Amino acid sequence: MTADVDGLRSAVEQSLRRHSPTPWLPDPANTTVTLLVDGIYHANFLVYSGGQVHVARVSRRSQWGLSTIAQLQREFAVLVDLAPLDVAPRPLALVDSPGAVPMIVESFLGGDFLPYPAGLSHCAETLATVHQCVPRRSGPLLDSRPAKEFLLGEAEKLLDSTVPDTSATRVLRRCAGVLEQRGLPETVPVLLHTDLIQHNIVLAADRCRFLDWEGARRGSAAWDLAYLLSPITLRWADSWGIEEFGDEQSVIRAYSSHAGLDAATLTDHVAAFMPFVVLRAAAWCVRRSVSLTRSGDAVTDRLALFSSPEFLLAHFRDLGVSV
């Protein structure tokens, strides 16, 4: 644990020890905190108090340009809306009192990360349940810009002047130019997760739940499905290797059956979203790879793969985008 993370852990622990007793924090004075996972944008800590174990989620910074507290408020509101569906951690508290570290306290979801590829159809059924959520509390806080504007805009921001001009960035900029000329299907907007990588999907007792609602927004259901099935998402999974997944249709059929939608139409919508989703994900990888140079590290190696012009050209060509 770095000194920075340990300092944050200590600050979270002290904030909770000063908190008044509550059902989720029955013994504040004897509360202890340990690191669960330290990410680029959030740090998650296990909170032990009076025999209970929960998670404290602290925002380091928002990749969407929000203030720390605004980012946490949005995520907490989403968890409140999702609570009746039991598809996400239960929201226990939004801590934003003066002098305390701002954080979300949520239930700890034990279990294993979703097994790939066997669990993808099961995941699609849970995703269909998520998309049935009515965002009463979070709705006003969610970004609902048109998907094309959002995805192309995010790719452009990620590939700004601070990123070196390379073969990969030139490929992505040319792809963006092609996609500028395309449209995306108009559908009834639903609550989206937008970051359904393996480590955000937990399976326990045959029930699938989604973690990390940082990127929640509103838009077409096909957006989430395209991200779930994108070549970058699939190859990001542990132990996946570099094999292609050849049964996307089974995932779309599982979702369609659960959501009561036409599978053929949804397949077309997912295909339309796929190059836009891959563009934004690849732009994030290219930008991130600039600051990671350790060879042999699994994340670094995957970022290097996704940032290679050969990988990008081959996959965009498969998606019908030739540059």
Could you tell me where the DSSP H helices lie in the chain? 3-17, 68-82, 120-130, 147-158, 167-179, 221-229, 231-236, 248-259, 263-289, 298-306, 309-318
Answer whether residue 245 shows pLDDT above 80: no
Higher pLDDT, 99 or 53: 53
pLDDT of residue 235: 87
The percentage of the chain sitting over the pLDDT mark of 90, rounded to a whole number, equals 80
Is residue 187 a contact partner of residue 220, using CB atoms and an 8 Å limit?
yes
What fold, for 112-319?
Aminoglycoside 3'-phosphotransferase; Chain: A, domain 2 (3.90.1200)
pLDDT digits (tens, 9 = 90+) for 29-47: 999 999 999 988 999 999 9
3-state per-residue secondary structure call for 258-282: HHCCCHHHHHHHHHHHHHHHHHHHH
pLDDT digits (tens, 9 = 90+) for 232-241: 998 888 766 5
pLDDT digits (tens, 9 = 90+) for 184-231: 999 999 999 999 999 999 998 778 999 999 999 999 999 999 999 999
- On the question of a common fold for 5-107 and 112-319, the answer reads no
- pLDDT band of residue 299 (cuts 50, 70, 90) is confident
Q: Residue 322 class from Cβ within 10 Å (0-12 exposed, 13-18 middle, 19+ buried)? A: exposed
Report d(CA 223, CA 144) in Å as an integer.
13
Question: Of 172, 143, 179, 182, which is closest to residue 284 (Cα–Cα)?
Answer: 172
Q: Residue 100 class from Cβ within 10 Å (0-12 exposed, 13-18 middle, 19+ buried)? A: middle
pLDDT of residue 296: 57
- Domain 5-107, CATH number (from 3.30.200.20, 3.40.50.2300, 3.30.70.1900, 3.40.640.10): 3.30.200.20
Q: State the average pLDDT over residues 116-144.
A: 94
Report d(CA 107, CA 53) in Å as an integer.
8
pLDDT of residue 295: 54
CA 221 to chain centre: 15
Domain spans of the chain, in order of start: 5-107, 112-319
pLDDT of residue 116: 85
Q: In Å, what is the CA distance from 125 to each residue of 134, 190, 226, 241? A: 17, 15, 15, 25
pLDDT of residue 238: 76
Q: State the average pLDDT over residues 120-127.
A: 94
Averaged confidence pLDDT in the chain: 93
Answer whether residue 109 shows pLDDT above 90: yes
Question: Of 223, 322, 204, which is closest to residue 272 (Cα–Cα)?
Answer: 223
Question: Of 71, 53, 51, 75, which is closest to residue 61 (Cα–Cα)?
Answer: 71
- pLDDT band of residue 82 (cuts 50, 70, 90) is very high
- pLDDT band of residue 58 (cuts 50, 70, 90) is very high
